[in-house]
Amino acid sequence: MTIQGYDLEARQNWHRYLYTRDRGHLEYMAQAQKNEGMYLGGGEQWSKTDRAVLDDQGRPAYEFNEIMPSINSALGHQIQNRMDIAFKPRGGQADLLKATALSKVAMQVADQNKLHWLETQVYGDGLIEQRGYFDIRMSFDKNIKGEIIVTHEDPRDIIPDPDAKSYDPDQWADVTKTRWLTLDEIQQHYGMEARRKAELSGDDGPSWGEAEFETERNSFGTTGMVGAQDAYLGEGALKRYRIIDRQYWVTERTRCLVFPDSGDVKSTHTMSIEQVTASKMLGAMEATRMMRRIKWVVSTYCATLHSEWSPYEHFTIVPYFAYFRRGKTRGMVDNGVGPQEALNKAVSQFIHIVNSAANSGWIVEENSLSNMDTEELEDVGAQTGLVVEYRKGSKAPEKIVPNSVPSGVDRLIDRATQALKDVTVPDAMRGLQGNAVSGVAKQADQFASQQVMAVPLDNLAYTRHMLAGRMCKLMQRYYDSYRVFRITEKDPMTGKDFEKVLEINKPTEDGGYFNDVTVGTYDAIITEQPMAISFENSQFVQSLEMRKNGVQIPDATVVRYSSLADKHEILEQMQATNPGEDAVVELTKAKALLTRAQAVAVDVETIYSAVQTAGAISMNPAISPLADSVLGSGGFEDKNAAPLVPTPDPGTPAMLPAPNTNPLTPANPQSAATGAHAGIETGVIESPVAA
C-alpha cells in the first residue's frame, strides 16, 4: 500500500525490524561476536581495552586457547554421529512401501544439499554463538520441476520473535532475516521490478542502513563490516541495500479441505490443484474457516520488493539452540569465557614475572659507576658474566631481588584449565582415553563423558526432527510428478556403495500410481549411528572373543569390522573364492530337509508294512501273538500300553486270504527276501552334498 508516495507496508516492516532488533538482538550480536573470538583465538580472546593496558606496561598478552579443542571435540562427536532421515506411515493412504520411497528420496535430497556438512555448521553455530539456523525451501533455478534447497544462515542475520518463549518457530509471531544485497542480487532473488523499486528508493545510504549497530563479521577481507562497509565506501565499492526479509503469521478466513475419516483440516493454498482434486475424489469436503497463513514481505527502508502469501506451511527458518530455556539461549562457549580469561591472565602474569626476573633492576649510588653509566647498566644488566666497576669509597651496586611468582598462581592455572573442561567437554571426548584400549572400554568412558553433551545433542535431535518434517511436506507438495532418482546404497556384505534406480509417482495401467508419495501422512524418524571408529573397534574385539568361546562367527564378519584399509577388496576376494554366508545357510537348510525327507520315507515304509500285517491278521487272527512278539523284539513300543496286535479268541477259525488275481496289482511276496515293500516305488532322495 502506498499513500502519497509513502510505502506503508515497507515502513511497517522496517519498524518491526527496529522493535525486534532493540529487544535483545543487539546484545545477542555483541555476545556472539565475543564468543566467536574466544573460539578462534589469535589475539581475539583479549578485549581491546585490556590489550591496550598491557601494551602500555610492556607486558605480554598470551592466549592458551582451551576453548577451540573443546568445541572441536564436540563437533567431532557430532560428525561421527550424523543423521539419516527416514519416515514411517501414520495415516491416510500411507503404507510402508511409500514410506520407504520417501525415505530414499529424503536421503537423496540430503546428499544433494550436503546436509551432513550443513548440520555440522549449524551445530557449531549453536555451540559457539548460541544459535544456529537452517533455511529450507523450494528452488526452480536448476530444475523446472523444483528441488528442495537447504542452506545455513548467519545467526546474527536472523532475528526471532523477541516475545516468543518456544523453541518451535510455529509458536513465534514472526521471524526476520536482515542482510545486505547489491542491485544484481536483488534482481536475482526478487525480479527486475524489485530492482527498479530499490534503485528508485534511494535507500543505499547510511541513514537507512543503521550501520552503527552492526557487529564485525568474518570475511576474506580485513574490514570486517561485511555489507555495511561496502554500502558507503567510495569509488569501486559495491553499493548494497539493507534488506528486511520477514515472514509472519496472519489469521484469516481461508479455503480448506476437511477429511471426514480422520477429521484433518488442511489449507488448500499449500496444496497443488491435482492434490486438491484427488483429495475431493477420496471424500474430502471443501470449506472455509479461520486459519493461520504465512505472509512474506521483503523490503528496504521505504520500498517493498516482495509481498505475497507464503507457499509453505511453516517458516523456512529452522532453529538450533544448544541450550534453551523459555526464550533464553546459551552456547557451550558462554560458560567457558570466564575460565578462559582467567587462564590467559594467570599465564600472562606468570610469564611476565619470569621474564622480569632476569633483569629485575639495580640499586646504584649516584655517580658511583666507573666503567658504564646507569643507562648502559639498564640495557646490559641481565647479561651473563657482566662486570660492574664502581669508585672506591662508594656503595657497591646492588641487584634488586626479583618478585617471586605469587603463591597460588599455578593453582589458579590448573583450576581454570579444569573448569574449562568441566563446562565444555571432558578428557574422554578429547581423545585422552587413559589406559582404556579396547573398544568396549572406550565406549564406556565416552558414554560417561557424553552426559555433558546430552542437552545440546537432544536439542539437535529436535531440530533434526523439525527439519525432516518440513522436508517431507515439501516432497509431498512439490514432488508430485513422475521422477526418477539414482539412489546410492551399501552392499551389506562388502560395505561398498552401489547405485539403484528409484521411481516415484509412476503411472500404472490401472490408472493409479506406483510409489505415490503425495498421499498419506508420515512421521519422521531420525536414526543415529554409534561413533564409527569406537563402534567398529568394539564389534571387532567382541567378534574375536566370541570366536574364542566357540561361536561360529563367519570370517567375512570379522573382516568387515576390522580397521584394514583394503577390507572391501578382501571381502570381494572371499566372496569370489569361498561360498558366501548365504550359501552356507542354504546348505544347512538342504541338509535339514534331507534328514527330514529320509525320516518321512522310513515312516511311510513302516506304515505300509503295518497295513500289510494288519490285513494278514484280519484274515488269520491266530498269528497276532507272533506279530506282537516280533514288533516288541524290534523295539517298537505301544503308547497305549495294550498289545500292539489284539489277540483273537481261541475259537476263532483261521481264514486265509484269497489269491490275488488282479493284473493291475502285484501279488503278495512269496519269500521273506522280497520284503514287505515290494511293489511300492519310493522316490530315491539324493543328497546334495557328499557324505
pLDDT at 656: 52
> pLDDT tens for residues 351-375?
877 776 656 677 788 888 878 887 7
Residue 398's contacts (CB-CB under 8 Å, 6 or more residues apart) are 362, 363, 364
In the predicted model, is pLDDT for residue 440 greater than 90? no
Would you say 38 and 336 are in contact if contact means Cβ atoms under 8 Å apart? yes
pTM of the model: 0.70
Across 164-187, average pLDDT: 94
Tell me which of 75-84, 249-258, 492-501 is least confident.
Answer: 492-501
Tell me which amino acid residue 401 is.
V
Rounded distance between C-alpha atoms, residue 607 and residue 599, angstroms = 12
pLDDT at 259: 83
Burial code (b: 16+ CB inside 10 Å, e: under 16) for 236-249 equals eeeebbbbbbbbbb
Would you say 169 and 314 are in contact if contact means Cβ atoms under 8 Å apart? yes
Would you say 296 and 247 are in contact if contact means Cβ atoms under 8 Å apart? yes
SS3 letters across 464-532: HHHHHHHHHHHHHHHCCCCEEEEEEEECCCCCCEEEEEEEECEECCCCCEECCCCCCEEEEEEEECCCH
Rounded distance between C-alpha atoms, residue 12 and residue 14, angstroms = 5
The share of the chain scoring above pLDDT 70, in percent, equals 70
pLDDT at 685: 45
> pLDDT tens for residues 459-477?
999 999 999 999 999 999 8
Q: CA 531, 537, 541, 543 torsion: positive or negative?
A: positive
Confidence of residue 671 (pLDDT cuts 50, 70, 90): very low
Q: Grid cell 509513502 — which residue?
A: 6
In the predicted model, is pLDDT for residue 680 greater than 50? no
Q: 160: which strand partners?
A: 175
pLDDT at 636: 61
Confidence of residue 270 (pLDDT cuts 50, 70, 90): confident
Confidence of residue 665 (pLDDT cuts 50, 70, 90): very low
> pLDDT tens for residues 409-434?
778 888 888 888 878 877 666 655 55
In the predicted model, is pLDDT for residue 33 greater than 90? yes
- For residue 312, count other CB atoms closer than 10 A to its CB: 19
Confidence of residue 674 (pLDDT cuts 50, 70, 90): very low
Tell me which of 239-243, 319-323, 525-529, 569-573 is least confident.
Answer: 525-529
Q: Grid cell 634488586 — which residue?
A: 400
Across 503-514, average pLDDT: 86
Rounded distance between C-alpha atoms, residue 607 and residue 610, angstroms = 5
pLDDT at 603: 64
Would you say 151 and 118 are in contact if contact means Cβ atoms under 8 Å apart? yes
Would you say 129 and 155 are in contact if contact means Cβ atoms under 8 Å apart? yes
Shortest CA distance to 179 belongs to which of 207, 156, 203, 147? 156
- Grid cell digits, residue 98: 511409500
Confidence of residue 543 (pLDDT cuts 50, 70, 90): confident
